[in-house]
Amino acid sequence: MSKKVRALTAVVVTCGFLIMSSSASAESPSKNGPTNKVTAYVTTGATANEAVVTLWMSNANPVGAVCLPFKFAAAEPFWLDSMVTKPYRAGTFQMMPPKYEKDKQTLLVNMLRDADSVKAKSGLIPVGDGVLATLHFTSKSKFPLGDFKIAAVQLPPENVLLYVTETFNSVLPEFAMLREAPPVAAKTDKTP
């Protein structure tokens, strides 16, 4: 097994242990600083058959791993076409193969920084806010934007919406869905 695979496995196991333990803590931001939150901005895509969900991440502490478990719903059939993470805040992170189940309309994405002992504190998502990723959806006819829903859920075995900080503390961010364009990304950190 390669060093990267072992390191990736160790981080995933550590994340799972932190979730199952009672040590999950929401590290508190400063009074005027960012909060820990993921906001899904739902907008129309390039055509009437498409929609884009922009996942906007706010974090009060540097982040080394992110777990994104979602469930989608709408009255008309639709499917997830793609997920784009580059050039966004976690664009340099390693991503486990996303698990999208079209029949259940669920998506599980685990992302973590490429870490080794030399770069122990590098590669983190710095404190701030901005786009984490975009999800691109399509339907056969006009996309059912008005009744489309996305929710952060728990997916088996213990996957919840989660940030893991540089000190391996688990942070359970808030989640919100808005049917509007995302804010313009301000340069609040050093990500592209």
Q: Order of strands, edge to edge, in the sheet holding 79-84? A: 79-84, 128-138, 50-59, 37-44, 174-178
Give tens-digit pLDDT for 134-168: 999 999 999 999 999 999 999 999 999 999 998 89
Q: What is the pLDDT of residue 84?
A: 95
Peptide bond into 34 cis (omega under 30): no
Assigned domain for 183 exists: no
Residue 188 lies in a domain: no
Q: Does 188 score more than 70 pLDDT?
A: no
Q: Are 174 and 35 in contact (CB under 8 A)?
A: yes
Residue 161 lies in a domain: yes
Q: Which domain holds residue 107?
A: 3-178
Bigger pLDDT: 91 vs 106? 106
Long-range contacts of 7-11 (CB under 8 A, 24+ apart): 7/115, 7/116, 8/94, 8/96, 8/112, 11/64, 11/65, 11/112, 11/115, 11/164
Q: Is residue 117 part of a domain?
A: yes
Residues 69, 143 contacting (CB under 8 angstroms): no
What pLDDT score does 17 carry?
38
Mean predicted confidence (pLDDT) in 13-32? 40
The CATH number of residue 91's host domain is 2.60.40.680
Q: State the average pLDDT over residues 165-175.
A: 94
Q: Is residue 23 part of a domain?
A: yes
Residue 31's pLDDT is what? 53
191 pLDDT band (50/70/90 cuts)?
A: very low
pLDDT value for 185 = 61
Q: Name the band, by pLDDT with cuts 50, 70 and 90, for residue 184.
A: confident
Does some domain include residue 189? Answer: no
Coil, helix or strand for 16?
A: helix
**Range with the largest mean pLDDT of 20-24, 35-39, 117-121, 186-190:** 35-39
Two tokens, residue 48: 């009437």
pTM: 0.79
121 found inside a domain: yes
Cα separation, 133 vs 50, in Å, equals 16
Mean pLDDT of the chain: 82
DSSP 109-146: EEEE----STTTTSSPBPSEEEEEEEEEEE-SSS--GG
Please count the structural domains in the chain. Answer: 1
Q: Please, which pLDDT band fits residue 117 given cuts at 50, 70 and 90?
A: very low
Q: Check pLDDT > 50 for residue 131.
A: yes
